[in-house]
Amino acid sequence: MLFLYNLLILLASTVLHLIALFNSKIKLFLDGRATVFQTLEQKINTTDKTIWFHAASLGEYEQGLPVIEKIKEKYPHHKIVLTFFSPSGYEVRKNNPIADVTVYLPLDTKKNAQRFISIVHPELVFFIKYEFWINYLAVLEKQKTPTYLISGIFREKQMFFKWYGGFYRKALNAFTYFFVQNESSKKLLLQLGKTNVAVSGDTRFDRVATILEKDNTLDFISNFKNNQTTIVIGSSWPKDEALLVDYINTTPFPVKFIIAPHNIKAEQIDQLKNNISRKTVLLSEKEGRNLSEYDVFIIDTVGILTKIYSYADIAYVGGGFGNPGVHNLLEPATFGLPIVIGPNYSHFAEATALVNIGGCFPIATATEMQRVFDDLIQDQAYRNEKGHICGTFVLMNKGATNSIMQKIVK
C-alpha cells in the first residue's frame, strides 16, 4: 500500500502540471512550490534552531495561531517555519508576522520529505488538525523528532480505521502526543492502542477570544452603520445570496446590510450589486461618498471581515447551502451575535452546538429566513439573549492552548 501511495503522489504531480495549464489556482499551487528549497536554504542556517508548524489552509493556520504565539514566546531564539498545503492559505498569509519563514509544503515524496527536513532540521513539529503526510512523518519518526498533532479530529471513516489502512496507522507512530478536540477522537485513537492522547479542545476558541482585545475600529463601517441595526453577511455564496437579496429588497424594516462575499471576482460582485434594488455601494467605491446614505455595503476585498463583525447586530454566515457546509461561526460568536446559517452544518461541531443551545438559527427557505430575521430585528431583548448565548459559548470553551503548552513545555 505504501508503494501505491508513493506512486499516486508521483502521478498526482504529473496530472497537476497538466491541469495547471488551464487552472490558475493549481498553477499557484505548483509555481509556489518551485522555489521552496531555495527559499529555505537562504533563510535557514545549519546553526539555526527551528520549530516547524504545518497548516493545510487558512482555517488551520488561524486554529494553530494561539499555539504558534505561545511557542514563539517560550522559544524566542528559535526560527518558526510555517508551511501551507493550499494556495488559499499560503497566498493570504504568506506575509504573516508570526513566522520567520513561510512556504508551501513540497509534495509528499520521499525525496522531498528528506530534503525538507534536512534543511529545516526542526526541534519540534506541529501538525494542525488534519493532513497526515506519510513520508514526512516517516522521516520525523526515524529522526525521533518530537511531533504533535494539535486540535486534531478523527472520524471512523478515515483510513486509519479501515482494514486496508495499516500503513496510515503506522504513520501515527511518529506523533509524540495527540491533542484532540473531542472524546470521540480520543476513543478512536485508544482503539488503535494510542494512549498518548488528551482531549484539549479546539484552539480556535482561544484565537477568537483574543479578537475582543484588539482594535477592531473601521471608521468607514461606523459611518455606514450610522447607529442603525445592521446585519453582517459573511462569506456568502450565490445560493445564500439568492435568499438574502430577496430579503434585502423586500424587508420593511430600517436595517442596513454589509455583505462580504466568499468570492470577490468582479463579475460576481457586479451581479450581486445589480440584483439589489436598495441603495448599494462597494468598498472599492467608497471614497468621496457619504456612506451613511447607503443601505447595503458590499465588501469587495478580503481580510477585514472579523473587524466588520464588531459592528453587527445580527450575523449571517454563508456556505450552509453547499458542501461541506457553513463557514466559521466563531468570529461572529465571540462578538456576542445571534447567527443565521444555511441548512448544511452537521459536519461542524461548533455550529451543531450553537444550534442546540439556541444561539444559531439554521434556515432552508426564504420564508424561514424572513421569520428569523424579522424576530431578531424587532425584539432587541430576544436578539441580545441569543447573542449572549454565542458569546458565552466561546468563553466557556477557551483553554485548549494552555492545555497543550502544559504537556509540551516542562
Between the CA of residue 139 and those of 85, 114, 174, 242, what are the distances in Å?
Answer: 18, 7, 9, 49
Rounded-to-integer distance, Cα 353 and Cα 356, Å = 5
Q: For residue 106, say if its preceding peptide bond is cis, omega within 30 degrees of 0.
A: no
C-alpha cell of residue 328: 466559521
Backbone region of residue 54 per phi and psi (left: phi > 0; alpha: psi in -120 to 50; beta: other values):
beta
C-alpha cell of residue 77: 531564539
End-to-end CA distance of the chain: 38
Smallest CA-to-CA distance from 284 within 275, 292, 273 is with: 273
Please count the other Cβ atoms lying within 10 Å of the Cβ belonging to residue 251.
Answer: 17
Which one is catalytic: 60, 62, 331, 350?
Answer: 60
The H or E element spanning position 270 is helix 266-275
Clarify whether 385 is annotated catalytic: no
The half-sphere exposure of 162 on its side-chain side, counting CA atoms within 13 A, is: 8
Rounded-to-integer distance, Cα 128 and Cα 60, Å = 6
Over its C-alpha atoms, the chain yields an Rg (Å, rounded) of: 23
Backbone region of residue 144 per phi and psi (left: phi > 0; alpha: psi in -120 to 50; beta: other values):
left
Rounded-to-integer distance, Cα 407 and Cα 177, Å = 9
Q: Cβ(295)–Cβ(256) under 8 Å?
A: yes
| DSSP conformation letters of 39-55 | HHHHH--TT--EEEEEE
Catalytic residues: 60
